[in-house]
Amino acid sequence: MPGGRKQLLLWIAAALAATAALAIILIRERRPDARHSLYIVGDPQRGSTLFYGAKQCSICHSVNGTGGHIAPDLAATRPGMPAMGWLATAMWNHAPGMFRRIRGSQSYPQLDSQEMADILAFLFRAANSDRPGDIVAGADIFQRKGCVQCHSVRSSGGHSAPELSAIAAGGATEWMSAMWNHAQSMIGPVTTVLGQWPEFSGNDMNNLLVYVSGGVGVEAKNEMAGDAERGWTVFQKRCIQCHSVRGNGGKVGPELGPEHELPLSATQFASVLWNHAPAMVRLARENGAAPVLEKTEMADVVAFVASLRYVEPTGSRFVGERVFNVRGCARCHGASAEGTQLGPEIQAHGDAYTAVSLTTALWKHGPKMVDRAEELGIAWPTLEANDLGDLVSFLNRTEK
């Protein structure tokens, strides 16, 4: 097998492992205008297969370095909030350049809404996966954070606590579960011996994990084998008594819904949990609860929390109407999207528009829209991430 192709396949395997079975849930809230709530599932694993396979995005694009280099690496496109709106508008804004390339090179790939959701889910996870850790920095962390005083790694270090390399070799999820489950018995001794609870930031945990595991790459491990729907069940069982999601749940700990900023890579999320362990454990004890997690439960909770960050952007139809006009969509589609001879009436076929289906419509009609804009000398309308939710609300309004 030629090296490039082999590398590609290896990368795909890693990406699949890193994203396996993570279901991304887009929960669309029930609106007064009586759209039925949607529960779209985009699967990053399927998205990866489409991206590198049938839809041939990888002819031009790479993700985390693997793929073509004609067009931007899409994992470098780090989604802001809302992630969906951000990715969709990135694609929209670059449509003219992209469509010109695609037209010149091959037959144009068709994408339905499910495929688009899968690809966006894949890009979202890929942009938030752990980069390879630094083993030297990890050894330093192990010393500096004081772990070495009690734990050994491959026989060097203290022996009052378990040797850690086997558990780290199990990957980020196993490591996180072990830390979480042992935090209760560790907090006393650790704070006594070290004088304080050692906190982690940035890439610390990633580096530590690579060192402790002996160089087993975190990203090659099945660290993200979580299922968001199962994670929601775990969350309700183990976390919701203290944490709320969109206001539903306990108020003892911080709200963990999409507006609350949290890191999404497995090891950065692990750092956040670790830093807060003393407060959580103290409260759990006071409430007579010891939140012990099974191995897959940790992965599932992480998948659930990540999926919350991938929400459908919400918006206002009134702002949307303004955006539609100010950005120049109305030039061709009319002030109320009623259609002109330059562009059709915009009407969702069947279900209401979502960010995914609007992006799918762009993908389908984009080349013609771009042509039309060029013919007429109209500048391509540039959108901002927040516009998308507003546009969707505007296009879905019931009365015209």
Query: Which single residue brings its beta carbon nearest to ligand HEC?
Result: 97
Site for ligand HEC in 14-53 (CB under 6 A): none
End-to-end CA distance of the chain: 59
Q: Does 270 bind ligand HEC (CB under 6 A)?
A: no
Q: Does 178 bind ligand HEC (CB under 6 A)?
A: yes
Piece of 5-13, 221-229, 308-316, 367-375 that binds ligand HEC (CB under 6 A): 367-375
Report the C-alpha dihedral over residues 253, 259, 264, 270, rounded to 10 degrees: -10
Site for ligand HEC in 287-316 (CB under 6 A): 287, 289, 291, 293, 301
CA distance 225 to 215: 20
Piece of 33-41, 124-132, 218-226, 370-378 that binds ligand HEC (CB under 6 A): 370-378
What does R_g of the chain's alpha carbons equal in angstroms?
24
Position among 8, 17, 27, 94 found at the interface with ligand HEC (CB under 6 A): 94
Query: Nearer to ligand HEC by C-beta: 299 or 346?
Result: 346
- Are the beta carbons of 54 and 109 closer than 8 angstroms? yes
Position among 24, 26, 60, 121 found at the interface with ligand HEC (CB under 6 A): 60
Q: Does 179 bind ligand HEC (CB under 6 A)?
A: yes
Q: Does 346 bind ligand HEC (CB under 6 A)?
A: yes
Q: Which of 152, 153, 265, 149 is nearest to 203 (CA)?
A: 265
Neighbours of 350 (CB within 10 A): 5
CA distance 20 to 42: 12
CA distance 168 to 176: 9
Q: Does 186 bind ligand HEC (CB under 6 A)?
A: yes
Residue 263, preceding peptide bond in cis (omega within 30° of 0): no
CB of 305 to ligand HEC, least distance (A): 7
Report the C-alpha dihedral over residues 271, 277, 279, 282, rounded to 10 degrees: 180
String marking each residue 226-255 x if it binds ligand HEC according to CB under 6 A = ------------xx-xxx--------xxx-
Position among 170, 198, 217, 339 found at the interface with ligand HEC (CB under 6 A): 198
Query: Nearer to ligand HEC by C-beta: 1 or 286?
Result: 286
